[in-house]
């Protein structure tokens, strides 16, 4: 068994069971949000630059940036949102055009995009004395009529492991990567995978691109 699968097992999560849960919750949550898609609820804010709209909780911290050594623009950029109180929510959105991504013969453009970002995250968490664990176990789905893939990854700390969810899809001329980290109680820092899945679906459905 790989260290990635061992980490999922330690936190009481079987990869196949989580993927099934992701699909089921996605259908239910997506349908409910679609009925109220034009509303901006109290306590929410909306970001609408560079050809996409993302609605999320007010407060917290927002960081705008870019990859590839370029200035943030319609072609490439990132939108990172953090909110911590009794719980912790971390949402990341990256976008870029397909020609920026090196693609090998055995992977799709979406898989190559996630693998590129996973390389970045491996370096990031190694510098923080943690490990970012993942496998190329991508699941095909759909986001607003666009082909999407998603997968479960794990941040392995010295004191325990934290699962999170990454997804990628192409909307028009751009690739979008969307990740979600969510911890319900920061005092004990344990992840309820059911709640993580619901939060990923909720945040994903609050994102719309051209």
**Residue 145 domain flag:** no
Residues in Cβ contact with 91 at an 8 Å cutoff, skipping those fewer than 6 apart: 56, 80, 81, 82, 178, 179, 180, 181, 203
Tokens of 52: 């996409």
Mean pLDDT for the stretch of residues 185-202? 90
Residue 176 lies in a domain: yes
Strands 61-65, 52-57: parallel, antiparallel or unpaired by DSSP? unpaired
- Say whether 194 sits in a helix, a strand or coil: helix
**C-alpha torsion angle, residues 181, 184, 190, 196 (rounded to 10):** -40
Is 90 contained in some domain? yes
pLDDT confidence bin for 190, thresholds 50/70/90 = confident
- Residue-level pLDDT at 152: 92
User: What total of structural domains would you count in the chain?
Assistant: 1
Strand partners, 13: none
Indicate whether 41 pLDDT > 60. yes
Q: Is residue 82 part of a domain?
A: yes
Specify the DSSP class assigned to residue 18: H
Domain assignment present for 141: no
Domain that holds residue 65: 3-36+45-99+107-132+159-209
Contacts 24+ apart (CB under 8 A), 67-70: 67/94, 67/96, 67/100, 67/120, 68/96, 68/100
Is 210 a residue whose pLDDT tops 80?
Answer: no
Residue at 88 is within a domain: yes
> pTM here?
0.80
Q: What is the rounded CA–CA span in Å between residue 14 and residue 202? A: 22
Weakest-pLDDT range from 13-27, 152-166, 193-207: 13-27
Residue 164 is assigned to a structural domain of this protein: yes
């Amino acid at each position: 068994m790989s260290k990635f699968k061992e980490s999922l097992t330690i936190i009481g999560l079987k990869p196949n069971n989580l993927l099934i849960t992701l699909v089921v919750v996605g259908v239910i949550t997506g349908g409910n949000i679609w009925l109220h898609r034009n509303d901006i609820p109290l306590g929410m804010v909306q970001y609408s630059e560079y050809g996409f709209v993302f609605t999320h909780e007010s407060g917290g911290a927002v960081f705008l940036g870019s990859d590839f050594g370029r200035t943030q623009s319609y072609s490439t950029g990132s939108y990172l949102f953090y909110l911590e109180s009794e719980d912790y929510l971390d949402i990341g959105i990256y976008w870029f055009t397909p020609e920026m991504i090196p693609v090998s013969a055995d992977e799709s453009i979406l898989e190559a995009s996630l693998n590129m970002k996973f390389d970045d995250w491996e370096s990031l968490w190694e510098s923080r004395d943690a490990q970012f664990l993942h496998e190329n176990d991508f699941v095909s789905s759909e986001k607003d009529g666009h082909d999407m893939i998603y997968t479960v990854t794990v941040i392995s700390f010295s004191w325990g492991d934290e699962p999170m969810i990454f997804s990628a899809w192409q909307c028009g001329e751009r690739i979008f990567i969307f990740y979600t980290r969510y911890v319900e109680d920061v005092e004990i820092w344990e992840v309820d995978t059911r709640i993580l899945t619901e939060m990923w679906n909720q945040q994903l459905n609050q994102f719309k691109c051209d």
